[in-house]
Amino acid sequence: MKIIEVDLGDRKYPIYIGESVLSDKKLLNKNITSSQVLIITNENVAPLYLKHIEKNLDNIKHDVLILPDGESTKSLENLNLIITCLIEKKYNRTCTLIALGGGVIGDLTGFAAACYQRGVKFIQIPTTLLAQVDSSVGGKTAVNHPLGKNMIGAFYQPCAVLSDTNVLSTLPEREFSAGLAEVIKYGLIRDRKFYEWLEKNIELVMSRDSRALTYTIERSCTNKAEVVAEDEKESGIRATLNLGHTFGHSIETALSYKGWLHGEAVGCGMLMAADLSMRLDLIDQGRVDRVKALLERAKLPIKIPRGIILKDILENMKVDKKSRNGILYLILLNDIGKATITADYTQRALTETINHFLE
């Protein structure tokens, strides 16, 4: 088992990564110090892993809330449902919430923990690759508003993250590939050696070989932990974690968040960012080709879906969170393993890039 620490002073916390993390009774019980525990999960994950966790919770009294599957679960209505459950069951400030699921359950549970009685403990037990390498680490918690994704939320850190690679065995292939987009992202923005390792080993990772998976999650979380420790609230370097996200979000918005997974949009968006970097002479075509080849091997889409037009993408990009005083900053590449945050690009190059990716 590997342990990585997210170094945030008195809010520091461990990420445990390995093959049988959830079978380690001692570990689970060591991290739960409350006598009131609410496990929040969904109807997909509960039949797979809930019993296993409950069995290992020694004599800790706990309750369970099983929510519907899907992005729409990340709502104010479900936040209210969690809070109502906590009040009805007379949970006090020393309680602990456990998020058992993917990024949807993790983001919602984290925000509920941030809100309940001005903040209670929560533990992340991420069960998707995306959640294990990204959303469970770093404390971004949120629910969606009908007018926008993640519009209501808080930075609120968990007290531990327990990532068991075994749970990824039941993850559908497309969801696994979507998680790989975020993995590839760490290599591209700040870890050239890891990127080169992925170029050699992507098929092994995709076969869900346990050692390769542990290494993949460990490197991803180490990168994320370092960035978060330096810039928790995203006033600078943390924005590089959004490589490909501006293009990706604009594709997701054009698709009304239907048809593509977030990671798929991020994958295509990263290739678009690489292409724009090439048009601005920041990197050469060879590097763009390497990004394209790795994304294709990870079974991620590399073209914008048919039916979307240039105007859709350009309009949707304008509402990006990285806009400052009307200027849209983009995350681009100076090399493989080196990202830059810049507004120094031409509208012409941006248009050429988008046109290049339209079907």
Contacts of 194 (CB under 8 A, 6+ apart): 186, 187, 219, 223
285: which 2 tokens? Answer: 């075509």
- Show which residues are catalytic: 118, 140, 182, 224, 234, 238, 242, 245, 249, 262
Which region among 52-60, 102-110, 311-319, 333-341 touches ligand NAD (by CB under 6 A)?
A: 102-110
List the x/- string, 93-132, binding to ligand GLY by CB under 6 A.
----------------------------------------
Q: Does 138 bind ligand NAD (CB under 6 A)?
A: yes
Which region among 24-32, 204-212, 234-242, 333-341 touches ligand GLY (by CB under 6 A)?
A: 234-242
Q: Does 134 bind ligand GLY (CB under 6 A)?
A: yes
Question: What's the CA gap between 91 and 109, in Å, rounded?
Answer: 15
Eight-state DSSP code of residue 305: P
Q: Sign of the CA dihedral 268, 134, 220, 42?
A: negative
Question: What's the CA gap between 230 and 325, in Å, rounded?
Answer: 24
For residue 311, the number of C-alpha atoms closer than 13 Å in the C-beta half-sphere is 0
The number of beta carbons lying within 10 Å of the beta carbon of residue 209 is 15
Residue count, binding to ligand GLY (CB under 6 A) = 6
Residue from the set 72, 84, 92, 170 that interacts with ligand NAD by CB under 6 A: 170
Helix (H) / strand (E) containing 3: strand 2-6
Residue from the set 74, 121, 219, 238 that interacts with ligand GLY by CB under 6 A: 238
- Written as one string, the DSSP assignment of 20-73 is TGGG-HHHHHHH---S-EEEEEETTTIIIIIHHHHHHSTT--EEEEEEPSSGGG
Which region among 13-21, 143-151, 237-245, 264-272 touches ligand GLY (by CB under 6 A)?
A: 237-245
Q: Does 140 bind ligand NAD (CB under 6 A)?
A: yes
Question: What's the CA gap between 138 and 53, in Å, rounded?
Answer: 23
The string over 134-147, giving b where at least 16 C-beta atoms fall within 10 Å of a residue's C-beta and e elsewhere, is bbbbbbbbbbbeee
Q: Which is nearer to ligand NAD, 105 or 288 (CB)?
A: 105
Q: Does 135 bind ligand NAD (CB under 6 A)?
A: yes
List the x/- string, 27-56, binding to ligand NAD by CB under 6 A.
---------------x-xx--x--------
Site residues for ligand GLY, 137-156, by CB under 6 A, read: 138, 140
Residue 185 contact partner, candidates ligand NAD, ligand GLY, none, CB within 5 to 8 A by sort of partner: none
Residue 241 contact partner, candidates ligand NAD, ligand GLY, none, CB within 5 to 8 A by sort of partner: ligand GLY
Site residues for ligand GLY, 241-280, by CB under 6 A, read: 241-242
Q: Does 190 bind ligand GLY (CB under 6 A)?
A: no
**Interacting residues with ligand GLY (CB under 6 A):** 134, 138, 140, 238, 241-242
